[in-house]
Amino acid sequence: MSDAAPVPSLVEWAGGPPAFHALAERFYAKVPQDALLAPIFASMNPEHAHHVADFVAEVFGDPARPYSAAGGSHAKMIAHHLGRHLTEAQRKRWITLMLETVDEAGLPDDPEFRAALVGYLEWATRLAVLNSQPGVVAPQPDMAMPVWGWGPPGGPYRGPA
Ligand code: HEM
């Protein structure tokens, strides 16, 4: 790829929305076998993996904006975590299992993509825990969907500088 090539969105670089659906399905298929995570997802909506994949694909630049198109929003995603009393131990297990699954699913492993992905996962999982604590009230419904980008690297790995 030459320096003049346009910078793809994170979702394009990852292989398009199907890459996130395959990732989420693989991840939530493993959750029932994990002692720390299984109880909190025991009565999970059968469409859970699909909804999470739509959400992340949208944040990473899917122009179809599938989560919003289906009536979702950032506030609605956050609201799913209200009152769940998630712990730091559960968050850490979630992100560890997710990063293992990212490798198994064959998502790009260039430093630039992984930096953006890990940055988002750290941010979003910590928001999930914060918003699950006692006394947190529902967020403003009009809060904007996050739009994640490449950050300081500016684009994917294109060979040695
Ligand atoms: C990147 C971070 C995360 C994103 C994007 C995310 C997104 C979502 C979305 C979109 C839903 C609604 C799913 C639906 O409509 O069926 C949801 C629900 C939920 N999330 Fe998260 N989440 C994240 C992190 C976490 C973490 C770290 C935990 C726990 C350790 C967690 C626990 C849950 C639970 C328990 C539900 C409800 C499941 C159900 O019973 O259907 N989430 N999340």
**Is 75 a pocket residue for ligand 1 (Cβ < 6 Å)?**
no
In a domain, 2, yes or no: no
Q: For residues 115-128, b (16+ Cβ closer than 10 Å) or e, as one string?
A: ebbeebbeebbebb
The segment with the largest mean pLDDT, out of 1-5, 53-57, 139-143, is 53-57
ipTM: 0.96
Q: What's 81's domain CATH number? A: 1.10.490.10
In a domain, 137, yes or no: no
In a domain, 142, yes or no: no
Q: Which run of H or E residues covers position 151? A: none
| Atom 16 in ligand 1: residue holding the nearest Cα | 48
Q: Which of 131, 125, 80, 72 is closest to 62 using CA atoms? A: 72
Total structural domains within the chain: 1
Cα–ligand 1 centroid distance for 87 (angstroms): 13
| Atom 33 in ligand 1: residue holding the nearest Cα | 81
Q: Which of 9, 139, 126 is closest to 64 using CA atoms? A: 9
Closest atom, ligand 1, to C-alpha of 67: 10
Burial category of 77 from C-beta neighbours within 10 Å (exposed 0-12, middle 13-18, buried 19 and up): buried
Average pLDDT over residues 47-53: 98
Instruction: Provide the domain limits for residue 41.
Output: 11-130
Q: Which of 138, 114, 126 is closest to 90 using CA atoms? A: 126
Please give the pLDDT value at position 3: 56
Question: pLDDT tens-digit profile of 74-115?
Answer: 999 999 999 999 999 999 999 999 999 999 999 999 999 999
Measure the CA–CA gap between 119 and 113, rounded to whole angstroms: 10
